[in-house]
Structure 1
Amino acid sequence: MKHAPTIRDELDRYIQQEGMSLTQFGQIAGINRGIVSAIVTGNKSMSINQLDLITEAMGLPEGYYYDLFIENYIIDTPPNMRRIEPFLFRCAELDKPDAIRRVVGAIMDNLLYSPKLFEIAENLFAQGRHAAALLLYESVAEAEKYQHSERLAICQYRIFTIQIGDDQSRNIRTAAVFEAFVERLDEIDQLDALKDLANVYRSLRKWDKVEEMAKKMKAKAEIQYSLQHQEKRKSQDIEKRTRGPLFGYIAYADLLCAGACEALGDYQQALEYTYAYADLDWVKEDDEDTKYWVNLFSQWAEGNIYVNKLLSGDISVLPDYVEYIAATSNDNENEKLSKLLNIMIAANRYEIDVDDVLLRFEMDIHSFIKLPSVADMYTYQVIPEHTTLFEYEVAKYYLNRGRYSPGFKYLLDVLAKSIAINKETLFIRCIKLFEQFKEFADIQAHSKYEILVAKGKKYNFYYY
């Protein structure tokens, strides 16, 4: 039977081949001679730090012996978390997911290791090493799938957070899986979980789910807010665990419901929700952070009141709304994008001339037609949706007014982005709009259109 190689054999062979003494090699590696001797003779196990020093001294790439390390010191020996933990961190640093899978597979038959692996996953997640953390969360979740523990729920929350991305079909599945675990989270964590779910469903235009998540969040936030202000309760212990002030979850729930009603064309109900989060006189705190958020909700409410009146056909508010946008020009680009999108929807719906608006905000429009960088669940999910919808409405506006060159330019850009972010519904809308005006498209536009349609077919987008 062929003898399986070990790191000790490899090290011994290298030292002899190079004609070195143990002392000489130890000096090169920065390891005490006695430790080198103990490793070579098999009298001492090896840490991952020592392995890295030895590998470097032998002139080999980082991680060269990691597979052997797993064989020699993890699989063939009783699991030792003092050795395994730093090894997992190094595998994460060097992007070695297969090595992580092997280690986890070797030890997870025993549920006693779940808490430690979960702790490691949390540290990796905090460091931004999400790919490595995901492997550990999935392993712990699988091992504890029949447990009704908060740890299992947190694993599912982290998996949800990591996996949400460009693929909207996958996002639907991911959100549906996680939703079943929300109630197992800590009462405070549930607020952020419901908020994240609502924003994902918002990007998917699942308005019934947006409203459902928002109403649950509001009910839970109201309970926690009441508890926070009980005389004998230390409010700081609660508020520190939320991303923002508790009253903000109540107000944001109304904002989400207003948005859902607006999207469904129920502008009167949307106004009722908007008036609710505009009136925050019930908020008991008066610190600077609270004043900031109360003022922000007030600004949002002012704008959304204009929006719902405008979208319901009250064109008289358009000048005031435009001035409102200009007055809040210091807001981030994401908010300005949403406001201008509302104007374009109204312009196409009621045949309003908004050339002056497009000219006035021309520089802003050019700055946000590219997909934004990831900042949070809202930015990642909702803003790309608004970006592509805005361009679609601009394309429709120009085409309806016979300005075909810019119209087709915007439309084909949206068509390409709808494929990139897997938005089949938007893809179909672009196809229908192009077909409506195709006789006015030039050869280049037709050519690009055919290429994009063919690409859409590969993604199984159906449009006929």
Structure 2
Amino acid sequence: MKSTTTIRDQVTAYLSNQGLSINQFAISSGINSGTLSRVIKDRQPIAMNHLERITRGMGLQEDYFYSLYVDECFHHSAPTWRRLRPFLMRSAALGRLDCVEQVVLNLLENLVYAPMLFEVAEGLFEQGLWHAAALLYENVSTSEKYQNSERLAVCQYRLFRIGLGDDQSSNLRVAILFECFIDRLNEADQLDGLKDLLDVYYSLQKWSKVNELAEKMLQLATLRYNLQLRSKRKPDNERLPSSPLYLYILRSHLFLSSVCMEYGDYKSAIERVSLYTDVSWIQETNDEAKRILAQFKEWGRANIYLYRLLDGQLEVLNDYVEFISTQPDEIFTAMYNIVKSANRYNWNVDHILERFSSYIPYRTYNSEFGEYNQQVMADKHTRFLAELAAYYLHNKYYEKFTNVLLNLESSAKINNESIAITCVDLFEQYRYTAGEEEMEKYKLLIRTARNSKATAF
């Protein structure tokens, strides 16, 4: 059958080989016999539902004719959106990105289809079919004539979201590409875009950028929230951000407090805690607001302990430990900061590491707002392994030497060069304590990292 060139040729050959009449196949396939006759005789285009029934009737895999159907839609009949839209959606669902790309490239010869393809991309994005959606967003972006177009900005926002993964270098690239489009978004999308960018730059420890974007999100969210309070009713069809406006304000203050912490300004960090825990200005009193405000108050209490701990106030350690012991989703972050402080101030925290040893392996954590950002947690876990390895070796627990290798492996996985360099430096300092097995694994990891770096370029 594959020697023929059109779907009609193959259907005709099938009927002949099986000794079937058009009426018989019409009954078995569920297509009206008159319609089937016109389709086979090339007097009527093949609709998508006809294609599905013909394929099923012939006992073939669902996407068997998909490559030929692209020709059917563009070269054997005039392209119509009624046929192409369902074909695009089904091709995406079946992973036939080759067909998606062929249809998109053909359609965009006429730019009138760009808005329609954008709407399909949005639908695919919502369904989680991100690879197919990315193809559409990329091509719609290329076809966009106006650089200040909101549709172009939305395409870039979606491509940014799709492009995020474990590789921190790649995350930085897609963040930089998207950032220059954020001001062209609708204000509701701007808030979500700023939140997503903040998560990426936070995971990359780009603190000046976190500070800049948090201030920007704070200003925009505060303006919109004040307008919302003054307005008697919502404008019709107003686009809303994914979260309540007050949440963006609280998150901004939380980010800004964290920046103070990272710069070592613990006094300012503590002062900023009240900005996201003293919430008398929030007008909402529903259950969602109560849950959100309770979460921020909990974070505020934990962070005051944390900032004092990082400032070297050993007397708060036991209180901090007892507090986080009742908050399972906060234990890992607390352990990271406890070990970090122990290394800075030469404390012994063996009893804490033993108590919470089950939280050392990587896992996902949740808050009132769902699962913690994957990039942030992957980076934090890698940094924790670096601090833990340093703690063990500085305290002469040489049997824990494998922690250095685990950290090196983790940093290579997320392509975090600065942590990898820290691991190499730590390994070389304590090389004399490494066994033969550790030496071989170290050489293998270094070789793998070099090969990955060479491949990237």
Q: TM-score, normalised by structure 1?
A: 0.92
1:109 aligns to what SS in structure 2?
A: coil
Aligned to 2:402: 409
Aligned to 2:149: 149
Q: Which amino acid aligns with 1:172?
A: L
Q: Which amino acid aligns with 1:451?
A: L
Aligned to 1:347: 342
* 1:320 aligns to 2:315 (yes or no): no
* 1:125 aligns to 2:122 (yes or no): no
1:62 aligns to what SS in structure 2?
A: coil
1:96 Cα deviation (Å)? 0.8
* Alignment check: 8 A CA contact 2:166 2:378 kept: no
Deviations 1:408-461 (A, max 9, x none): 222211111111111111111111111111111111111111100111111228
In structure 2, what is the Cα distance between the partners aligned to 1:149 and 1:246?
25
In structure 2, what is the Cα distance between the partners aligned to 1:94 and 1:372?
32
* 1:451 aligns to 2:444 (yes or no): yes
Pick the aligned partner of 1:424 from 417, 421, 436.
Answer: 417
In structure 2, what is the Cα distance between the partners aligned to 1:46 and 1:254?
58
Q: Which amino acid aligns with 2:265?
A: D
2:264 aligns to what SS in structure 1?
A: coil
1:54 Cα deviation (Å)? 1.4
Aligned to 2:84: 84
Aligned to 1:243: 242
* 1:272 aligns to 2:271 (yes or no): yes
In structure 1, what is the Cα distance between the partners aligned to 2:222 and 2:44?
59
Aligned to 1:201: 201
In structure 1, what is the Cα distance between the partners aligned to 2:159 and 2:11?
40
Deviations 1:300-339 (A, max 9, x none): 111111111111111111111111101323xx3xx32211
In structure 2, what is the Cα distance between the partners aligned to 1:268 and 1:237?
44
In structure 2, what is the Cα distance between the partners aligned to 1:29 and 1:76?
23
In structure 1, what is the Cα distance between the partners aligned to 2:17 and 2:365?
56
Aligned to 2:23: 23
Distance 1:64 1:235, change over 3 A: closer
Aligned to 2:379: 385
1:265 aligns to what SS in structure 2?
A: coil
Matches within 5 A, 1:282-297: 282-297=281-296
* Alignment check: 8 A CA contact 2:392 2:398 kept: yes
Distance 1:324 1:371, change over 3 A: closer
In structure 2, what is the Cα distance between the partners aligned to 1:17 and 1:286?
72
Distance 1:142 1:194, change over 3 A: same
Deviations 1:124-147 (A, max 9, x none): 111111111111111111111524
Matches within 5 A, 1:94-243: 94-234=94-234, 241-243=240-242
Of stretches 414-423 and 3-12 in structure 1, the one that deviates more from structure 2 is 3-12
1:234 Cα deviation (Å)? 3.4
Give the CA RMSD over aligned residues. 2.2
In structure 2, what is the Cα distance between the partners aligned to 1:428 and 1:142?
39
In structure 1, what is the Cα distance between the partners aligned to 2:129 and 2:403?
37
1:197 Cα deviation (Å)? 0.3
* 1:301 aligns to 2:295 (yes or no): no
* Alignment check: 8 A CA contact 1:75 1:106 kept: no
Distance 1:377 1:101, change over 3 A: farther
Q: TM-score, normalised by structure 2?
A: 0.93
1:46 aligns to what SS in structure 2?
A: coil
Percent of paired sites with the same residue: 41
* Alignment check: 8 A CA contact 1:8 1:40 kept: yes
* Alignment check: 8 A CA contact 1:199 1:377 kept: no
Of stretches 119-128 and 23-32 in structure 1, the one that deviates more from structure 2 is 23-32
Distance 1:287 1:236, change over 3 A: farther
* Alignment check: 8 A CA contact 2:45 2:77 kept: no
In structure 2, what is the Cα distance between the partners aligned to 1:7 and 1:274?
67
Aligned to 1:32: 32
In structure 2, what is the Cα distance between the partners aligned to 1:403 and 1:27?
77
Q: Which amino acid aligns with 2:413?
A: A
In structure 2, what is the Cα distance between the partners aligned to 1:92 and 1:287?
40
In structure 2, what is the Cα distance between the partners aligned to 1:290 and 1:328?
20
1:66 Cα deviation (Å)? 1.2
* 1:439 aligns to 2:438 (yes or no): no
Moved runs in structure 1, 4+ residues, more than 6 A? 235-238
Query: Paired residues, what number?
Result: 450
1:196 Cα deviation (Å)? 0.4
Aligned to 1:69: 69
Q: Which amino acid aligns with 2:396?
A: G
Matches within 5 A, 1:9-20: 9-20=9-20
* Alignment check: 8 A CA contact 1:371 1:384 kept: no
Aligned to 1:356: 351
Q: Which amino acid aligns with 1:413?
A: L
Deviations 1:265-315 (A, max 9, x none): 222232232232222222222222212111211111111111111111111
Q: Which runs of 5+ in 1 are unaligned?
A: none
Of stretches 42-51 and 99-108 in structure 1, the one that deviates more from structure 2 is 42-51
In structure 1, what is the Cα distance between the partners aligned to 2:236 and 2:314?
46
Aligned to 1:394: 388
* Alignment check: 8 A CA contact 2:199 2:373 kept: no
1:460 aligns to what SS in structure 2?
A: helix
In structure 2, what is the Cα distance between the partners aligned to 1:417 and 1:65?
44
* Alignment check: 8 A CA contact 2:192 2:241 kept: yes
Of stretches 241-250 and 226-235 in structure 1, the one that deviates more from structure 2 is 226-235
In structure 1, what is the Cα distance between the partners aligned to 2:373 and 2:180?
24
In structure 1, what is the Cα distance between the partners aligned to 2:102 and 2:365?
36
* Alignment check: 8 A CA contact 1:111 1:143 kept: yes
